[in-house]
Amino acid sequence: MEQLIGQPDAAGAQADLIKDGTQETFINDVIEASRSVPVLVDFWADWCGPCKQLAPVLEKVVRAAKGKVRLVKVDIEANRALAAQLAQVGLPLQSIPLVAAFWKGQILDVFQGALPESGVKKFIETVLKASGGGTLPATERLHEADTALETGRPDVAAELYSSVIGEEEENPRAWGGLVRAMLALDDEESAAAALADVPEKITNAPEVAGARAALELKREGRQAAEAMEGIQARLAANPEDFEARCELATALNAAGRREEAAGELLHVIRADRGWKDGAARQQLLRFFEAWGNDDPNTLTARRRLSSLLFS
């Protein structure tokens, strides 16, 4: 790569996050700059429709990265000599848009095509990890928010999730987290309002769907808890009152007693898996969606459910 056209500028790479590159500035803007921070190079042409779709997405994500990566845009038609030279080192510039990540003067990774914003973020996260640059700022805040929610600080979590949404309106993890934080604060009205504000594009994302299920179950659980005395009396009179047992499971879930809630539904499934067209299993699956696939209670109960269904 040291043979590329142009010579390094003695002043060093400029601090601009996004700039247009040429064959004269490539060494300075990309090769030299990449020795301290990963540099993405967007190869495009005016006749390329997908290039025009990708450009604003790239710029948005790079700005949100707050200096952890830079972006240089190279028009391959206006810089044919540079394009030809880069093609000789393996860049498939015959198919654009193409984005190459440079680190320490070398090509670290490449993607082709107009990726959606989520794909661009994933690519940059991979580049940052490989270069030791950590994660995107929004990702760091999401980790902080998740930790705050898990350690009983939902108010802090809500602020962090909201700050991410302010920068990335279509971030399903942030929306789902905000709803869950509102539920942890016993603010069902705000949780419902947040769900109503979720952008249509991500309304069915797993993170959002799980938060929606959590809100629905919390409402149902509150109603079941109010009838707890009657539910317990029905079970005392008839331990095989499956309707009462399912209502008890819903109340236990709303109280945060997930293991016991799952146990009540598994009891019904073990006794009569076809009861009411599998109503207990369906409710348990709703619990899994609301808890999240990585929740320890989901993992344990799912194993127990599998052993019942496939034994």
Catalytic residue from among 31, 40, 48, 224: 48
Domain with CATH 3.40.30.10 in the chain: 18-133
Token pair belonging to 50? 């997908």
Measure the N-to-C terminal CA separation of the chain; round to a whole number of Å. Answer: 61
What is the CATH class of 222-309?
mainly alpha
pLDDT at 11: 36
Given this structure, which CATH class describes domain 138-203? mainly alpha
Residue 246: active-site member: no
Q: Are 146 and 158 within 8 A, CB to CB?
A: no
**Other CB atoms within 10 A of residue 136 CB:** 21
Q: Which of 30, 51, 83, 191 is catalytic?
A: 51
Confirm if 29 and 42 have CB atoms less than 8 A apart. Answer: no
Sequence ranges of the chain with CATH classification 1.25.40.10: 222-309
> Contact, 266 vs 307, CB < 8 A?
no
Q: pLDDT tens digits, the chain, 311 residues: what are they?
A: 444 444 444 333 334 899 999 999 999 999 999 999 999 999 999 999 999 999 999 999 999 888 899 999 999 999 999 999 888 878 888 889 999 999 999 999 999 999 988 889 889 989 998 988 777 788 888 989 999 999 999 999 999 999 989 888 888 999 999 999 999 999 999 999 999 999 998 999 999 999 999 999 988 888 888 888 899 999 999 999 999 999 999 999 988 899 999 999 999 999 998 999 999 999 999 999 999 888 899 999 999 999 988 86
Q: Which residue is listed with tokens 């459910």?
A: 305
pLDDT of residue 311: 64
The reported pLDDT for the residue numbered 208 is 95
Give the integer Cα–Cα distance in Å for 208 and 115.
22
> Whole-angstrom Cα distance, residue 66 to residue 63?
6
Q: State the pLDDT at residue 7.
A: 40
Among residues 245, 255, 309, 231, the alpha carbon closest in space to that of 280 is found at 245
Q: Is 48 a catalytic residue?
A: yes
228-237 and 206-226 helices, crossing angle to 10°: 80
* Structural fold of domain 18-133: Glutaredoxin (3.40.30)
Q: Using CB atoms within 10 A of its CB, is residue 256 exposed (0-12), middle (13-18) or buried (19+)?
A: exposed
pLDDT in tens, 243-302: 999 999 999 998 889 999 999 999 999 999 899 999 999 999 999 999 988 889 999 999
